[in-house]
Structure 1
């Protein structure tokens, strides 16, 4: 049985300014660095066997800050992978978040993203993102999961890795929780540097056991 500690990256400047941030990247703020350090202290006594992150700098930097506090820091390897990047928002990258979500949800009767996330499956919303993108370059559900599932296959094949650190992104954590959680409200997204826990059994079956906590 593998136990995966999924951490959202620390706050970035685009998070602070409430803009859409998928594959576009901005540095961690001072608060973001502090949050990553705090997550590292909270997870310090978990003997991680491997550390995995999105290859976007905000997640990779957060991962490195967490690793330096870990009891296994001298042996811990960090794999930065595009498999665990955030959703690609296409045309909406860098746009003010509420405006973007109105453009995405509006044609389907939603002017509030929280209501949309309460009432619709996240894969439906992913398809709406691509549909609303004038260039249709944003990822839809099929494209997104083809990428992320490669990451989980990679994790399933890590022999001997029982405790795994995975640093990724807010909408990706919501997506994972929507797929592998039960009766969890994802209309409120995971906080920066929060911890979500998932188990993976020997057959690759995954289950969310804890969502959006600041302590383990």
Structure 2
């Protein structure tokens, strides 16, 4: 069964505005964040969604409801499924901290003092593993822990009883999660130094009959 997933990064929050790691913590949408959600809703208003999913954070839920309210493709919208498996990466001790300071703490012991430097020298997985190592409580998700949770999110979508061949699915996602998906599944040719914008749409085709590494095809990024 092929599903067409429309992944939308939630609207801007105050932590986004202040350049702080957000993860599992939650700050309110800014006025621009509400506008981001409405813009995404207008972009997707003609798509008939068979199902809709988001993380159990208010920033994701408000974005999802706004998009569904803008939708004109069908009279009755699907019930929104909220689940922790769609959350952003968990940053543990570094939740809410300034991003530059947090990534310096993670990368400096390895000779890479920023997020981009870690990615360039060690790969994206190292950003998660180095942050967990730097976390004095080691609560931050490792790369393995992160993907175990995210893959369960894909399984939740695959097993949704209302879905059928060629169904369109709305998923409200998060910045680092979208980057992680792109780094894992995107072919060459995408500029992944460009972070997904708040309210942007990334489209995937998801083949539920395949193992996860063969199941995801990127259609578009950060539109």
2:13 is matched with 12
Change (3 A) 1:54 1:18: same
Which of 185, 196, 221 in structure 2 is aligned with 1:211?
221
1:192 maps onto 2:193 in alignment = no
Contact 1:121–1:178 (CA under 8 A) maintained in structure 2 = no
The match for 1:133 is: 135
1:121 is aligned to 123
- Following superposition, the deviation at residue 120 of structure 1 comes to 3.4
Cα distance in structure 2, aligned partners of 1:182 and 1:124 = 20
2:179 is matched with 174
SS, match of residue 65 in structure 1? helix
2:132, 2:193 → 1: CA distance?
A: 20
Q: 1:115 Cα shift? A: 3.3
Instruction: Determine the C-alpha separation between the residues in 2 that align with 1:43 and 1:175.
Output: 23
Structure 2: tracts of 5 or more residues without a match: none
- Identify which range, 16-25 or 73-82, moves more after superposition: 73-82
**Contact persistence 2:52–2:78 (CA under 8 A):** yes
The 8 Å contact of residues 45 and 70 in structure 2, kept in 1 or not, is answered as: yes
* Segments ≥4 residues shifted beyond 6 Å: none
Counterparts of 2:158 and 2:53 in 1: how far apart (Å)?
Answer: 13
DSSP 3-state at the match of 2:113: coil
Pairing 1:151-166 to 2, within 5 Å after superposition = 151-158=153-160, 159-160=163-164, 162-166=167-171
TM-score (norm 1): 0.93
1:139 positional shift: 0.5
**Aligned residues between the structures:** 213
Give the alignment's Cα RMSD to 1 decimal: 1.4
Alignment of 1:71-90 (within 5 A): 71-72=73-74, 74-90=76-92
Q: For residue 187 of structure 1, report the CA deviation from its aligned partner.
A: 2.5
Moved more, 57-66 or 204-213: 204-213
Query: Which shifted more, 183-192 or 82-91?
Result: 183-192
Q: What is the alpha-carbon distance in structure 2 between the residues aligned to residue 118 and residue 63 of structure 1? A: 33
Matches of 2:50 and 2:21 in 1, distance apart?
Answer: 33
Unaligned 5+ segments in structure 1 are none
Greater CA deviation, 133-142 or 195-204?
A: 195-204
Q: Secondary structure at the match of 2:47?
A: coil
115-124 or 83-92, which moves further after superposition?
Answer: 115-124
TM-score (norm 2): 0.91
CA shift in 2, pair 1:179/1:73, >3 Å: farther
